[in-house]
Structures are given as structure tokens and as C-alpha cells.
């Protein structure tokens, strides 16, 4: 992958299996490929896991992290023989896990619409996630918030992305909802994720993560605990119902 190419996890989040070539090994025993199918840990979203196949051998990948120049580094589940540099391999995602991340991540964007308060933290897992809000008092009607979130999901809104320059983001700081995680910079441009189209748009914010194509794919979401995380913060937990 060149520095000017979008990684495959961003340009086609639904790709599950793709051929690649080994570009390098890291000192820690990781693998860098020329096609980035696996999402690296960042923005509260865990790195992808899966498998790399070559010459009749399968290597289990436990997670993926960011390396130099933002490249994805695949981290094996245990120290073992790596495919040699230059080898042609096939990388396969743990798709069930990735897809749950996509559904939860998109649901959390909608949660920030339902609760229009500054976000102070967040995390995504396979099937559940949470956002921390600057919320001194607990919400008066938790069930109403859950119903509102599911109504947004049921509208089956299209999810798309676009790009703006760093300067354009600086001129529109209100786009950034998350106080604890700044949008990824360094390339001169920032990716925006939009939920809804034209008059139906409900959310627009910088994000480098993976998302579903339409909100209907999320399915029903249920609220978990709303936890007190200090004088000014509340943690809202959500989970996919199925």
C-alpha cells in the first residue's frame, strides 16, 4: 500500500478476503502487507483479527496495530514462523467480529445524536460499546433515549464518507464531538462519516473507523448501565440485541 492509497478497510469495509504481498516484518514479530484489509486499533475501535494463508500454512492474527506511516501491522496470536518478505499470501478477516464492530461503531455515532452532549471517551467491542458524556445529572428517561436511538436505526439511513482538509476542519471545530480522541491527521485531509443524506442527514463527524452501509444493518440496540464516572461524566453502555 502506498502512502496515497486508501486502505481497503476504509475504501471497502465489506471486503473479507484478499490477496496481498508481505512488505516487511517488525522487530516485535508483526507483518506488514501491501494491501491493508485489517483495521488497526484506533479511535476506540479494536484492531481486526483473522488469518493469513500461504504455501499451505495458516497463521492466526490476534489483533492489528498501527505501524510507521499509518500502515497496518498484523500481530500473530503467538510467536511463530512468519511468511517471508515478498511472499504472496491471502488474508482473511474474522468477519463476524469485524461486522459487530461496524454495527456498534455506527450505533455509537447515533447515540451521540440522541444525547447531544460533549463526548469525553468511548470504546467499541464485538456486540457492545459505550460513550462517556459530559453529563452532570443522569438522564430523566432512559427508556425514551433507547426508543429514540432505535427509531433512528429503523429509518435505515445511508452511511457515507467524504473528505475535508485539515484547514476546513479547523474552520469547523463543532464537527468534532469527541473531546478525548482527536481526528486522525497527518495526511492533510480528514475523513468525515455522514449518516443520512441531504434533508435526512442526522450526523456528520470526523472518524477513521469502519461502519455499516445503512443504519438498518445495526439491528435493535438495548441500553445497559448508565454509570457515574465522576462529577461531570456519565458512561452510557449499549449492546446489540442479536
The 3 state secondary structure assigned to 20-40 is: EEEEEECCCCCEEECCCCCCC
Question: Cell digits for 214?
Answer: 445503512
For 176-185, the pLDDT digits (tens) are 776 555 666 5
CB 106 within 8 A of CB 195: yes
For 198-219, the pLDDT digits (tens) are 899 999 999 999 999 999 999 9
CB 48 within 8 A of CB 13: no
Is the per-residue pLDDT at 112 higher than 50?
Answer: yes
Three-state DSSP class for residue 105? helix
Is the per-residue pLDDT at 31 higher than 70?
Answer: yes
Instruction: Look at the block and give the residue holding cell 496495530.
Output: 65
* pLDDT average, residue stretch 18-44: 96
Question: Cell digits for 88?
Answer: 504472496
| pLDDT recorded at residue 2 | 41
Task: Provide the b/e sequence for 54-79 (b: ≥16 CB within 10 Å).
Answer: beeeebebebbbebeebbbbbbbeee
pTM of the model: 0.92
| pLDDT recorded at residue 175 | 77
CB 183 within 8 A of CB 206: yes
Q: What does the mean pLDDT of the chain come to?
A: 92
* pLDDT average, residue stretch 164-183: 74
For 183-192, the pLDDT digits (tens) are 665 567 888 9
Between 175 and 92, name the one with better pLDDT.
Answer: 92
Q: What are the chain's domains?
A: 8-93 (2.40.30.130), 98-240 (3.30.980.10)
| pLDDT recorded at residue 6 | 82
CB 38 within 8 A of CB 202: no
Whole-number Å distance between alpha carbons of 184 and 192: 11
For 50-82, the pLDDT digits (tens) are 999 999 999 999 999 999 888 999 999 999 999
* CB-neighbour burial class of residue 117 (10 A; exposed 0-12, middle 13-18, buried 19+): middle
Amino acid at each position: 500500500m502506498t502512502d496515497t492509497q486508501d486502505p481497503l478497510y476504509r475504501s471497502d469495509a465489506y471486503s473479507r478476503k484478499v490477496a496481498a504481498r508481505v512488505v516487511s516484518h517488525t522487530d516485535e514479530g508483526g507483518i506488514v502487507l501491501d494491501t491493508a484489509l485489517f483495521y488497526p486499533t484506533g479511535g476506540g475501535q479494536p484492531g481486526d483479527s483473522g488469518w493469513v494463508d500461504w504455501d499451505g500454512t495458516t497463521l492466526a492474527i490476534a489483533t492489528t496495530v498501527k505501524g510507521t506511516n499509518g500502515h497496518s501491522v498484523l500481530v500473530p496470536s503467538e510467536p511463530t514462523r512468519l511468511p517471508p518478505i515478498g511472499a504472496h499470501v491471502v488474508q482473511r478477516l474474522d468477519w463476524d467480529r469485524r461486522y459487530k464492530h461496524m454495527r456498534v461503531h455506527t450505533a455509537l455515532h447515533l447515540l451521540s445524536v440522541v444525547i447531544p452532549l460533549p463526548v469525553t471517551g468511548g470504546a467499541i467491542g464485538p456486540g457492545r460499546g459505550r460513550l462517556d458524556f459530559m453529563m452532570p445529572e443522569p438522564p430523566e428517561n432512559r427508556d425514551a433515549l433507547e426508543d429514540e436511538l432505535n427509531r433512528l436505526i429503523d429509518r435505515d439511513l445511508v452511511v457515507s464518507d467524504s473528505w475535508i482538509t485539515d484547514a476546513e476542519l479547523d474552520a469547523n471545530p463543532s464537527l468534532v464531538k469527541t473531546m478525548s480522541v482527536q481526528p486522525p491527521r497527518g495526511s492533510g485531509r480528514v475523513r468525515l462519516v455522514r449518516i443520512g443524506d441531504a434533508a435526512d442527514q442526522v450526523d456528520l463527524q470526523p472518524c477513521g473507523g469502519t461502519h455499516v452501509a445503512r443504519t438498518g444493518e445495526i439491528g435493535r440496540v438495548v441500553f445497559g448501565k448508565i454509570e457515574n464516572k465522576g462529577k461531570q461524566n456519565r458512561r452510557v453502555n449499549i449492546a446489540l440485541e442479536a
